[in-house]
Amino acid sequence: MTRIILIGYMGAGKTTIGRILAESLSLPFYDLDWYIEERQRRTVAQIFADQGENGFREIERRALHEAAEFEDIVLACGGGTPCFFDNMEYMNRQARTVYLKASPEVLLRHLKMSRTERPLLKDKTEEEVRQYIRESLAAREPFYSQARHTLDIDVLDNRDKIKDTVRMLRELLNL
């Protein structure tokens, strides 16, 4: 059985890398936020608005415990997932965990390229986003660093770089 969970800060490339990794291994791919939205029939932003962060984190924890039981999957978690409850410990018991580690500058470039709306970054200047990334990444690093494996991520701005990263990830995991 192959169960891989990707963690890291928003914009690190968890969904992009996860989807291509899963495809290369002929495994299904799940994004935990998408899974939550499908099960709850509303967006993560709506859940945050209706139930606050604590309510969302409880839903997220339950969804993680469901999805991490699936066999033969690649699962990409939200950036905050490892930082609440015993989620990181649980993920390490259930799967091969990989921290996709990126510098604040790489994360900023990815977030600027992203087509995904990031509510936490809305209405911030580039310098405010850079500072926010630095501060929140520092707070989350102790959780992220508990992953069984770490892969340093560079700017993923073309298909070749993405494929190279997936190849390096497969080598790291001996797949």
The reply to whether the predicted model has a pTM over 0.85 is: yes
Please report, as a single letter, which amino acid is at residue 51.
Q
Q: For 102-121, write each residue's pLDDT tens digit.
A: 999 999 998 888 766 676 67
Return the ∠ at Cα 30 (arms to 87 and 22), rounded to 5°. 115
d(C-alpha 88, C-alpha 48), whole Å: 21
Q: Which two three-digit tokens encode residue 156?
A: 């993923």
CA separation (Å) from 55 to 24, 33, 84? 35, 14, 12
Secondary structure (3-state) at 156: coil
| Chain Cα centroid distance, residue 152 | 14
Mean of pLDDT values over 86-100 = 98
Please report, as a single letter, which amino acid is at residue 70.
F
Residue 106's pLDDT is: 95
Q: For 144-166, write each residue's pLDDT tens digit.
A: 999 999 999 998 889 999 999 99
CA separation (Å) from 172 to 63, 138, 140, 157? 27, 24, 23, 22
According to CATH, the topology of domain 3-158 is Rossmann fold (3.40.50)
